[in-house]
Amino acid sequence: MSTTLHTLHVELIGAAQSRRYPIVIGRDLLADTQLFTDLLGDRPVVLVTNDTIAPQYTARVMTALGDQRRVTQVVLPDGEVHKNLTNVEHILTAGLQDKHERRSVFLALGGGVIGDMTGFAAACFLRGVDFIQLPTTLLAQVDSSVGGKTGVNHPMGKNLIGAFHQPLAVLIDLQTLQTLPTREFAAGVAEVIKYGCIADGEFFEWLMGTSSRLKAREDSVLAEAIERSCAIKASVVAADEREAGVRATLNFGHTFGHAIEQVMGYGEWLHGEAVACGMVMATQISVNRGKVAPEDLARLKGFLEEFGLPVAPPASMDTSVFLGAMAGDKKVDKGTIRYILLQSLGQAAIVNDITALEIDQALAQLA
């Protein structure tokens, strides 16, 4: 028996049409036949996952999908290095070989890598079919599965090829987090605390008070943390589906973080680890600008450290290295680097006037 703990909706107000999709959070959702029947009816399915997740979770999804439905399974190799056009083509070929049509639905069972690739394949297949996100990492549950950004990496950079394609639904099964490696779980926690920093001071305080229960992956705390994170992401995405304005605040910690990932080599630092460190840098600058209390920065650092997340940038990266890497970021706007700082704890500010001296000072303080 599955249990639904929260359901919320992402509202999209498009030029041509408005639409909404549900994010369902609960236990044992992946095994819930009724839930899949309600969403899919008798529509055929292309189920995409990777070779780490397949042995752990495919069987229960297959059972829930029932034996009357046409299901094509695609199992891709695990890893960010496989997030490329070749594997998108594998998905498309499997769909074509099994004669899937426009009414077929793609299911993405996995972390952000599988979600991004499957969503992009769904956006391209026969000029666009529906897809459902079944995110199995904390990062995917609170971030990548919500918002409709899909895509793959290119040898010239991360996530350079892609499309906005919103899912039909996001089903978050809390059970999957119990098998997630510690480092991957912590990387997701970095994105969770990000939402508190940029949009909800109360949520920040709640997280400070529940860190040990979150670390122990208690169901009720996970459900609450994911629900509040998704609600913030959903409201930002609803206001700005294509990242023209306010959606940029979700990049808090990401401008410095991307620079770290790029310079240290992707895979060396997990994305969430680089974001954690980037958030500390951005908060330090916010403290120096008199917007955030030094004690709040100390609490943020303490929280991140409790999860084993890094709070000091690599010693090998000085200001010029950061500036050089950030200048190449795809979020650079007409040559100006756009940063997200904190206006106060719980409120983000988009700025473009951070000086090299300020970065120098922050690096010295955090060394």
Ligand X SMILES: NC(=O)c1ccc[n+]([C@@H]2O[C@H](COP(=O)([O-])OP(=O)(O)OC[C@H]3O[C@@H](n4cnc5c(N)ncnc54)[C@H](O)[C@@H]3O)[C@@H](O)[C@H]2O)c1
**According to the binding rule CB under 6 A, does residue 23 interact with ligand X?**
no
Let me know if 271 is a catalytic residue. yes
In this chain, which stretch among 47-55, 62-70, 217-225, 236-244 interacts with ligand X, using CB under 6 A?
A: 47-55
> Per the residue annotation, which of 149, 165, 194, 228 is the catalytic one?
149
Active site residue 127: yes
Neighbours of 124 (CB within 10 A): 17
Spatial separation of the C-alpha atoms in residues 287 and 291, rounded to whole Å: 6
Q: Which of 2, 72, 136, 262 binds ligand X (CB under 6 A)?
A: 136
Strands 169-173 and 130-135: parallel
Does 179 interact with ligand X (rule: CB under 6 A)?
A: yes
Q: Which helix (H) or strand (E) holds 116?
A: helix 112-124
Q: Whole-number minimum distance, CB 150 to ligand X, in Å?
A: 6
Q: Are 166 and 173 in contact (CB under 8 A)?
A: no
Candidate ranges 66-74, 91-99, 144-152, 297-305; the one touching ligand X (CB under 6 A)? 144-152
Q: Are 106 and 121 in contact (CB under 8 A)?
A: yes
x/- mask, ligand X, residues 79-108, rule CB under 6 A, reads -x--x-------------------------
Smallest separation, CB 78 to ligand X (Å): 4
Provide, rounded to whole angstroms, the least separation between the CB of residue 113 and ligand X: 4
Q: Does 149 bind ligand X (CB under 6 A)?
A: yes
- Return the range that interacts with ligand X (CB under 6 A); candidates 3-11, 110-118, 163-171, 326-334: 110-118
Nearest distance from C-beta of residue 178 to ligand X, angstroms: 8
The first and second tokens of residue 314, run together, are: 């690599």
Residue 251 falls in the annotated catalytic set: yes
Task: Assess 144 for contact with ligand X (CB under 6 A).
Answer: yes
Residues 55-78 as b or e (16 or more Cβ within 10 Å = b) = eebbebbeebbeeeeebbbbbbeb
**What is the nearest approach in angstroms of ligand X to the Cβ of residue 319?**
26
Catalytic residue (choose from 82, 165, 254, 301) = 254
Residue 149 catalytic?
yes
SS (H, E, C) 216-272: CCCHHHHHHHHHHHHHHHHHHHHHCCCCCCHHHHHHCCHHHHHHHHHHHCECCECHH
Mark whether 103 is an active-site residue.
no
CB of 325 to ligand X, least distance (A): 17
237 binds ligand X (CB under 6 A): no
Out of 53, 129, 192, 337, name the contact with ligand X by CB under 6 A.
Answer: 53
In degrees rounded to 5, what are phi and psi of residue 138? -65, -40
Amino acid code (one letter) for 230? C
Catalytic residue among 90, 165, 194, 258: 258
The contacts of residue 93 (CB under 8 Å, 6+ apart) are none
* 241 scored as a contact of ligand X (CB under 6 A): no
> Which residue among 48, 172, 187, 341 contacts ligand X (CB under 6 A)?
187
Residue (30 or 362) nearer to ligand X, CB? 30
* Helix or strand holding residue 359 (H, E): helix 356-366
Is 62 in contact with 71 (CB distance < 8 Å)?
Answer: yes
Which of the residues 279 through 318 are near ligand X (CB under 6 A)? none
Q: Does 122 bind ligand X (CB under 6 A)?
A: no
Contact 165, 157 (CB under 8 A): no
* By CB under 6 A, residue 184 contacts ligand X: yes
- Which among 89, 100, 83, 197 has a CA at the least distance from the CA of 144? 83
Sign, Cα dihedral of 103, 242, 187, 218: negative
What count of other Cβ atoms lies within 10 Å of the Cβ of residue 353?
8
Q: How far is CA 321 from the centre of its chain?
A: 26
Catalytic-role residue among 50, 87, 153, 251: 251
Kindly state the smallest distance separating residue 141's Cβ from ligand X, in Å.
9
Write out the residues near ligand X by the rule CB under 6 A: 50, 52-53, 78, 80, 83, 110-114, 116, 136-137, 139-140, 143-144, 147, 149, 159, 176, 179-180, 184, 187, 271
Residues annotated as catalytic (active site), given as ranges: 127, 149, 191, 233, 243, 247, 251, 254, 258, 271
